[in-house]
Structure 1
Amino acid sequence: MGMAAAFVTVLVWTSFILVARASNDPARGGLLTPFDIAYCRILGASLILLPWGAWLVRQDRARGIIGASWLRLSPLPAHITFKLGLFGGLLYALLAYSGFVHAPALHASVLMPGSLPLWTALLAMWLLRERITPARALGLALIVLGDVLVGGASLLRAFDGGSVWLGDVLFMTAAMCWAVYSVLARHYKLDAVRATIAITTLACITYLPTYTALALTGIVKSNLFHAPLADLAFQAMFQGWGSVVISGVTFTQMIRHFGPVRSTMITALVPGLSALGAVLLLGEPLHWNLAVGLLLVTGGILFGVRATFPVAPQRIAVSAATVRAGG
């Protein structure tokens, strides 16, 4: 199950980078703004996950489990739902989609999956008291060097009026938010489905009505009500059903099986595959600093994987008492 979850996660994450850049690139004339795409993502995921969450809550209550849910939609308590939803749902989506407006998919290929092991290792060391071995530290150092090689060049060009550096910063911040979510999921020993439902519940309850009101009143620029229905449906299905429902469950399953640090290092294929797709499908140029940075990041992740000893799968069943006690 762990290896199957890893395969699906890598496939969806790779496609996510390519589709998000193609949808947000101003040069391609897309109508939807990053916040519009985030809206479609949350709406599409909510159509599946909120009824699922309500059913799980009813099942819990039928077994006499009361208090381990929020609004009878999220099957996790309010404080856990808020933490997971803020970092793994709202902030990650808004930051990532906004980054694709300014920076190409090649940068996202390196900086998002590339900086994820770094953030996760630091957070796991702080919150979970996990030890970073010297071999893993060397792998993380290679990742940092690759990120600096890619993002540093953009920062140097910031004085020329370019905005690529802003996209790079947004990508790395989005990766940090996802790392927070992954470590929290490990900390609370969460079931994959319940965690994915929780992050969608918060986003649905808070973001959808707020953004709808802002778009209708013209306070924010939005093309939700002018874009073709086919575009909205595609984004809802791919971003919502694929990137949230499917990869959300498989990624959390990976965390349960391998742990947060090992899970993020298993995604070593994502930078290379998405970079190759950006060159072949999106026509993006592969400059020397991007190529070297990609090699360093991929090598750092692979080195971390080889430095990690295999562990037996952790069969964690989330009980209501565990959830109520906050793990």
Structure 2
Amino acid sequence: MVRADGAGGPSGRRLAAGIAFALLAVTLWGGWFVITRRTVGAGGVLGPADLVALRFGLGGLLLLPVVLLRLRGLDRKAVVDGLFLYAAQGAPFALLISVALRHAPAGHGAALTPGTMPLFAALLGVLVLRDRPGRWALAGLGLIAAGALALAGGFRDADELFGYALF
């Protein structure tokens, strides 16, 4: 806990490292959309499936021995959870976003994809966990939806609208 006089906060070195890692994370996340758009968009050198196959195929081959060695020690729930995470944030997610980036601007994808994740998390919470969001949560989700619609509402043609729908 930080006291009023500032004592107890992170040291200068730790604070600098934290800021550096935060900037790295933002650069990687934001850069992924730009590089993917450049690769799969008009004049790009790969299709969405090719890019995802390279990204996950190579990583999968490299990690296959580790998975095979550790699989026996995992219980069924851990395997099911891992498969769910793979489906939610793995190759299917990357393929969906890569196809979307073929049709819509990278900047919009970089804003819409992480920006609308709370909407989908809330929807899954309602459908799977029977959560009931409160008034403030619903108001926040409504603002997110309004912002997403405002951003995507300026689409140029049906092709771009298709890309927005995939984000």
The CA distance in 1 between the partners of 2:151 and 2:163, in whole Å, is 12
Partner of 2:57: 43
Superimposed CA distance per residue, residues 64-85 of structure 1 (whole angstroms, 9 cap, x where no aligned partner): x7x639xxxxx615xx555444
Q: What's the offset of the Cα at 1:147?
A: 0.8
Report 1:26-105 matches (<5 A).
26=42, 29-58=43-72, 60=73, 68=76, 76-77=79-80, 80=81, 82-105=83-106
Q: What's the offset of the Cα at 1:20?
A: 1.1
- Identical amino acids, percent of aligned pairs: 31
Partner of 2:153: 152
Partner of 1:164: 160
The CA distance in 2 between the partners of 1:115 and 1:100, in whole Å, is 16
The CA distance in 2 between the partners of 1:11 and 1:53, in whole Å, is 29
- 2:36 equivalent among 8, 13, 20: 20
Q: What's the offset of the Cα at 1:49?
A: 2.7
Q: What's the offset of the Cα at 1:146?
A: 0.9
Task: Name the aligned partner's letter for residue 107 of structure 1.
Answer: H
Superimposed CA distance per residue, residues 123-142 of structure 1 (whole angstroms, 9 cap, x where no aligned partner): 11332233423222222111
Which deviates further from its counterpart, 9-18 or 33-42? 9-18
Q: What's the offset of the Cα at 1:110?
A: 2.3
Q: What's the offset of the Cα at 1:117?
A: 0.8
Superimposed CA distance per residue, residues 4-60 of structure 1 (whole angstroms, 9 cap, x where no aligned partner): 7x946544322211221121221xx221111110111112321343222122225x2
Superimposed CA distance per residue, residues 142-180 of structure 1 (whole angstroms, 9 cap, x where no aligned partner): 1111111122222xx43xxx5111111111xxxxxxxxx
TM-score (structure 2 length as normaliser): 0.73
The CA distance in 2 between the partners of 1:81 and 1:110, in whole Å, is 27
The CA distance in 1 between the partners of 2:59 and 2:136, in whole Å, is 39
Aligned length: 147
Cα RMSD, aligned residues only:
2.7
Report 1:119-268 matches (<5 A).
119-154=120-155, 157-158=156-157, 162-171=158-167
Task: Name the aligned partner's letter for residue 76 of structure 1.
Answer: V
Unaligned runs of 5+ in 2: 1-17
Aligned to 1:166, what secondary structure does the other structure show? helix
Distance 1:103 1:84, change over 3 A: same
Higher relative contact order, chain-length normalized (CA < 8 Å, sep 6+): 1
Q: What's the offset of the Cα at 1:120?
A: 0.6
Aligned 8 A contact 2:34 2:107 in 1: no
